[in-house]
Amino acid sequence: MKIVINSSYGGFYLSLESHILYAKLKGYNVITRGDGTYQTFYKNEESDENIIDDWNIDRTDSALVQVVETLGEKAGQGKYIKLKVVEIPDDVKWLINRSETNGGEYIVEEHRTWK
């Protein structure tokens, strides 16, 4: 299974080029609104329920994986966002964790925790 993570500081934000390629691969007609600094992307029509929200994209989405594999360093928006594809065995129950020391995300095998 392939999963997309941000291996550097910052959140999970796709570049303009990534949004356009992602929408194309998904079969969406992408609509872009914004001032160049902050942009909102919509699929097919401009409405709240059609916003393409980076944080809500399934990190195993094959279109997202293809975007990151195709665009490489250009996939993330900003110098601190370095998106990469991590491959793990299909039968592993996993989750995305964030490092407290370097800010990057990493994949961990899901396990039980008691506090």
In a domain, 96, yes or no: yes
In a domain, 11, yes or no: yes
**Which residue range is the domain that position 33 belongs to?**
2-109
Number of domains in the chain: 1
pTM: 0.88
Question: Shortest CA distance to 5 belongs to which of 82, 89, 94?
Answer: 82
Q: Which pLDDT tens digits describe the chain residue by residue (115 residues)?
A: 999 999 998 789 999 999 999 999 999 998 999 886 788 999 999 999 999 999 899 999 999 999 999 999 999 998 889 999 999 999 999 999 988 777 799 999 998 778 7
In a domain, 17, yes or no: yes
In a domain, 114, yes or no: no
In a domain, 20, yes or no: yes
Q: In whole angstroms, how far apart are CA 88 and each of 1, 45, 71?
A: 5, 36, 21
